[in-house]
Amino acid sequence: MPKFAYLKTRARDLVVGVGCAAMLAGCAQFKYYFQAAQGQYSLWSESRPVEDWLGDPATDPKLRARLEKALFIRRFAVKELGLPDNASYKNYAALNRPFVLWNVVATPELSLRPIQWCFPIAGCVAYRGYYNKEDALAYAEELRAEGDDVQVGGVPAYSTLGWFSDPLLSTFINYSDAELARMVFHELAHQVVYIAGDSRFNEAFATAVEEAGVDRWLELYGNEAMREAYLRYSARRKDFLALLVKHRQMLADLYASKASVKKKREEKARIFAALHEEYKVLKANWGGYAGYDRFFSEKLTNAHLAAIATYNDLLPGFRALLAKEKDFKHFYAAVQRMSNLPSVERHDRLLQLASQMAPPAPTVLAEKQSTTAGGH
């Protein structure tokens, strides 16, 4: 189909989708759905097939190299990981902004339970995405005025779950090879299994696929420098998540206590102050690596810690399931079967699998990193 006709068809789909959403949610939601439709349409209108970019003499050589690498990673995802062989990540769009969209996450003042927003396709999720940063900030202020804790975070990539053809974007194309592969594997995994309304399951599954995929990618195509760099990245990420989980648990214990509201507010402020100070120590141990400074660039709230469990609570269970099934084909089939269970039962099964898995033996490099700073 010619590109213009394709875009017209997608534009029609978007208009129908926005109209249906408006009827379902009421006029108050129409503006939000309309900006979402406009944002998605702009990605299609600004994207071109990667082959067109590669065949264009005006394409910057650095971009050309990254697009060639992305196509190679895309083929690897299909051949080695069994991920969908469709039109996703075969087009490229250069955006004039640092992120493709901005997510608003919110919680009550004295709770870590994120507020949920429900949508026709994705189901209920713990965020609300905006293609314009100012719109996200404006909505965040509305929530703060109601007394909620709020975080606005930039998002470099997302998945439309196979409904549309997700393009490669300038917001992540210049990531390192391993990071680019991680991003593509994660987003494609959402097209394999996705349960509307169960973000904990969805994100942990996609993270398990990305981890195993990058390990195999580095084993086959990485050199020693790439492997060590990714190990440093992974070690820092593990340290950072452990720091957040520690303080998240402190807050959860506080909010579950019988302390007065005044006392809870005071202790909440103390816990976040301690988080700041411990991050400074962690950063020094990393040799000054500043990759997580952006997380601390605004006042920390419950909303900053609300999603930590979403990505990590069930991840050990998926790791154990992949080890048990031994290959991606059987792993995906097992996850598909699990997805048909009630949410409580599938979560319990994953937690049970995790409890049966022996902890991995540390590598020499990992042991070295636990006592030395690592740069990336």
Return d(Cα 163, Cα 295) in angstroms, integer: 31
Residues near 83 by Cβ (< 8 Å), separated by ≥ 6? 77, 185, 188, 189, 191, 192, 209
With left for phi above 0 and alpha for psi between -120 and 50, is residue 259 left, alpha or beta?
A: beta
CA 110 to chain centre: 25
Return d(Cα 240, Cα 233) in angstroms, integer: 11
**C-alpha R_g of the chain:** 21
List the structure tokens of 320.
């154990």
CA neighbor of 122 nearest in space, from 17, 9, 42: 17
Q: List per-residue pLDDT tens for the chain, 376 residues long.
A: 333 333 333 444 444 444 444 444 455 578 898 898 899 888 888 899 999 999 999 999 999 999 999 999 999 999 999 999 999 999 999 999 999 999 999 999 999 999 999 877 667 888 899 999 999 999 999 999 999 999 999 999 988 888 888 999 999 999 999 999 999 999 999 999 999 889 899 999 999 999 999 999 999 999 999 999 999 999 999 999 999 999 999 999 999 999 999 999 999 999 999 999 999 999 999 999 999 999 998 899 999 998 787 778 899 999 999 999 999 999 999 999 999 999 999 999 999 999 987 655 443 333 333 322 333 3
